[in-house]
Structure 1
Amino acid sequence: MENKKIIQVEEKVPFNLLIPLSLQHMFAMFGATVLVPILFQINPSVVLLMNGVGTIIFILITKGKAPAYLGSSFAFLAPAGLVITKWGYSYALGGFIVVGFSLCVLSFIVYKFGIKWIDILLPAAAMGPVVALIGLELASTAASTAGILPGTDGSIDSKNVIVFLVTLAVAVFGNVLFRKIFAVIPILIAIVAGYITALLTNLVTPQIVVDALHKSLLVKPNFQTPHFNLEAILMILPVILVLASEHIGHQLVTSKIVGRDLLKDPGLHRSLFADGISTMLSGFVGSVPTTTYGENIGVMAITKVYSVQVIGGAALLSIIASFIGPVAALIQTIPGPVIGGISFLLYGMIGASGIRILVDAKVDYSRSRNLTLTSVVFVTGLSGVAFKIGQVELKGMVLACIVGMVLSLLFYIFDKLGWANDK
């Protein structure tokens, strides 16, 4: 651990490290994954339960070869919000199930036709910026969560800034300076340091902590049954475009981090199928759809611990937390500046992974197509341009990915026709 030895996907970790490493992953995903059920106005307990169950299912289906934590998906917020307003949450659940089933169908198509099309539709010059955008477009979200952006009156709460800076500083310098066991849990230490600072600055009052600890020891997740309505389903179904693009991007960046081609082994078809099954099961019991989480990819990039045993440990902790009232309540008291401070580093790590793809592939920018691809993808993703299909808005990384794929396909056709001037 002294020099941050890499712990590979299939390796086991010492028991004394398993719990802190698993806690680190659970805390990394917690802020974002709990926000979705709060916005849908449902109890987060069932979401924590199904995220843990979904992650374990993902590990089993991918044969323990693809380290990924499945958290709440933000892609459904807009269309599901409209469905909930018009028909109620149970009808949104029906839409979630159909989207999950569609992902499973897509996985069989990938299994049948392979993944060679990815090299044509997403060459390195397009893939690199698409992966980078996964982290870069979330930068403003991290700042907003931290509460360090000016409010309507132009002011910023100094408490937020102090807690944010302490959390970020411990994460950044701990990643460089910590040794032995501390070298692999800098995120967890930063969260603890940020929380203590929040208590000292009275951003989190002791009474809030006391109230959380006095919650009922055992709680039962509030399960709900789905209802199906064709109009509601059609409003939510286009989200599959977002999920597929996001999933491929996450698998690509994870592949670069762990040094293995996860699209080939265990295979993109397996990971897509696992993601779809998890989303379907969540819909059947009243939870929200799931997706592989960028926050946890960032944790792996920082710690160099890729073991699925650790991911599985985080999933089990999430399941346990869903039934223990004080634990779930206490975790929910973690303030935004702490989550934002961690996210600053984690999202940046994902952005850097996209640049690494360009470097590793030795992309030749003297070729017009490469320069054009990277430029257009970056500008599309960061410009704020949006395109709507029904109630689903395509923007950011997803729209940039689609634009990059269309351009890459056209360039491939130009090559076949002998029209390209840089072949």
Structure 2
Amino acid sequence: MALWAVRGNGRQPPDGEDVATDERLSWPLTVGLGFQHLLAMFGATVLVPRMTGLPVSTTLLTSGAGTLLFLLLTRNRVPAYLGASLAFVVPLGAAAERSGAGPGALIGGIVVVGLLVTALGVAVKALGVRLLETAVPPVVTGGIIVLVGLGLATYSATSFERTPVPAAVTAVVTLLLTVLGRGLLSRGCVLLGMLAGWLYAAGAGTLSAARLAELRNAAWVGLPELITPQLHLSVTPFVIPLVIVVAAHQVGMVKAVASTTGRNLDGSVGDALIGGGLATTFSGSVGGSGLIGYAESMGVLAASRVYSTAACMVAALTAMCIAFSPKVTALLGTVPTGVVGAASMILLGMVVLIGVRIWLNAGVDFTDPVNLGVVGTTLIAGAGDLTLTVGDVRLSGLVWGSLVIVLVHPMLRALVDVSRGSSRQ
């Protein structure tokens, strides 16, 4: 039995209709849609290992392999691309600075996070998803999705500012195709917008000279650098908070996909946690970065309305192939930072609205002081990337914001319930 049924004639579904997770278009079109996912995730997936001192090629390899593992364990029900998570940057940087941890110790911390997320996924499957629904209600899952979108807004805006003209070209072309395009022009709006900005920069001679030199000097074929993990207790306190962040993000991602596709994916939450946890464990075990379901990938799904996991599989296989070609990696590295920032800005905006849709569908009451106070404060702090230091541990806005919304919201809700119960007696 085929993994995907061909939608219609495979060339073009009717405008306004979705391509489901278990459907696909013709393979040439699916490859193009997969490349759209690849371009959307490439900037951050290259940036994170560079910021944490880990090999880029290894992270590309493990992000592709981790995505395939995730798709396998979720039984092709949850379309997603797993890329290098920016949430790991500050904790790993703090661990290296405060404890002198080297790359081996840092990826050992990534392995610990992956194993704990996997264990949480096993617990969810064993105890049932209703327990998770109680602990992480729609107000929380929607808040996490919005927080992810807003938390990365600074990265998008800063990137946009670095090369504003190609970024503006990308934004204008993408938005015009999104609004006015029909058929494949609309579904490939992100890819075409980024290509327009990239080609404009090349024609105007504004591509980075350093990146072009790197492209000229890069070998066509090369093996990813593998690193052996080392488990150091000194690193563990810095990365433990990431367990809740990664788990909450994975749950939110499943809810976001369910909201946009109209399918009930509650039964896949445990599988998604296990898949994401094992993907991160594998990545850390060979020298890659911590992985997470990419918000940009969710944005691509919403923009194209093609939810086929086949496109995610193509992106994963392509990333794995690129990992063995420094030349192709360097070529994609010439995409101007502003082009990536413009695309991310549009896609992350769509992600924020997906989170809002979760709130609307669940009828979340924002006159409730608990919802209003916790969610509102967390989102503003996350959008401003407020970084806090607790002891030796530095928490970025995305990390501590996720911790607050997951842990503090249910605590305050319980206190309110107890208080109201006491007042009735």
TM over 0.5: yes
Following superposition, the deviation at residue 332 of structure 1 comes to: 0.8
Match of 1:66 in 2: 78
| Deviation, structure 1 residue 109 | 1.9
2-side partners of 1:421 and 1:298: how far apart?
A: 46
Structure 1 unaligned regions, length at least 5: 149-159
Distance 1:389 1:206 in 2: 41
Partner of 2:359: 358
Question: Is 1:113 paired with 2:114?
Answer: no
- Say yes or no: does 1:193 pair with 2:196: yes
Name the CA distance, whole Å, in 2 between partners of 1:386 and 1:314: 33
The answer to whether residue 24 in structure 2 is matched with residue 28 in structure 1 is: no
Give distance in 1, aligned partners of 2:223 and 2:349: 37
Map 1:149-160; keep pairs closer than 5 Å.
160=163
Distance 2:372 2:145 in 1: 16
Q: Report the equivalent of 1:155.
A: none
Residues 381-390 or 231-240, more deviating: 381-390
Per-residue CA distance 1:348-385 (angstroms, 9 max, x = gap): 00111122122222334455555455544444544655
Counterpart position of 1:183? 186
User: What is the percentage of aligned positions where both structures have the same residue?
Assistant: 29
2:404 paired residue number: 403
Partner of residue 4, structure 2: none
- Paired residue type of 1:225: T
**Whole-angstrom CA distance in 1 between matches of 2:365 and 2:89:** 39
CA contact (8 A) 2:227 2:286 kept: yes
Aligned partner of 1:123 in structure 2 is: 137
State the one-letter code of the partner of 2:76. G
Q: Check conservation: 2:371, 2:409, Cα contact below 8 A.
A: no
Structure-2 separation of matches of 1:419 and 1:218: 68
Letter in 2 for 1:271: A
Contact 1:69 1:293 in 2 (8 A): yes
More displaced, 272-281 or 293-302? 272-281
Corresponding residue of 2:323: 322
Q: CA RMSD in A?
A: 2.6
Task: Please point out which of 140, 155, 180 is paired with 1:141.
Answer: 155
Cα pair distance change 1:312/1:364, threshold 3 Å: same
Amino acid across the alignment from 1:115: V
Matching residue within 80, 89, 92 for 2:92: 80
* In 2, Cα distance between equivalents of 1:297 and 1:310: 12
**How many angstroms apart in 2 are the aligned matches of 1:285 and 1:130?**
29
CA-to-partner distance for each residue in 1:188-219, whole Å, 9 max, x for gaps? Answer: 10111000111123211699658626632211
2:248 is the counterpart of 1:241:
no
Change (3 A) 1:170 1:28: same
CA distance change for structure 1 residues 123 and 265 in 2, over 3 Å: closer, same or farther? closer
Residues in 1 aligned to 2:423 and 2:79: alpha-carbon distance in whole angstroms: 42
1:265 counterpart residue number: 267
The structure-2 alpha-carbon separation of the partners of 1:395 and 1:78, relative to structure 1 and needing over 3 Å to count, comes to closer
Classify the secondary structure of the residue corresponding to 1:323: coil
Where 1:330 maps in the other structure, the secondary structure is helix
> Could you tell me how far apart the structure 2 residues matched to 1:238 and 1:10 are?
35
CA positional deviation for 1:388: 4.1
SS at match of 1:71: strand
5+ residue gaps, structure 2 = 1-11
Quote the residue 2:303 is aligned against. 302
1:57 Cα deviation from its structure 2 partner: 0.5
- When structure 1 is superposed on structure 2, of 39-48 and 298-307 the one drifting more is 39-48
User: Which range moves more in the overlay, 52-61 or 358-367?
Assistant: 358-367
Checking the alignment, whether the CA contact within 8 Å between 2:112 and 2:281 is kept in structure 1 is: yes
The 3 A distance-change label for structure 1 pair 386 and 143 is closer
Query: What is the TM-score with the length of structure 1 in the denominator?
Result: 0.88
User: Following TM superposition, by how much is the alpha carbon of 1:30 offset from its aligned partner in structure 2, in angstroms?
Assistant: 0.1
- Farther off after superposition, 388-397 or 196-205: 388-397
1:89 counterpart = 2:73:
no
Q: How does 1:205-220 map to 2 (within 5 A)?
A: 209=212, 212=215, 215-220=218-223
SS of the residue aligned with 1:291?
Answer: strand
- 1:276-311, Cα deviation, whole Å (9 max, x unpaired): 111111122111111111110110011111111110
How many aligned positions are there?
409
CA separation in 2, counterparts of 1:108 and 1:314?
27
Q: In structure 1, what is the equivalent of residue 277 of structure 2?
A: 276
Q: Which residue of 2 aligns with 1:157?
A: none
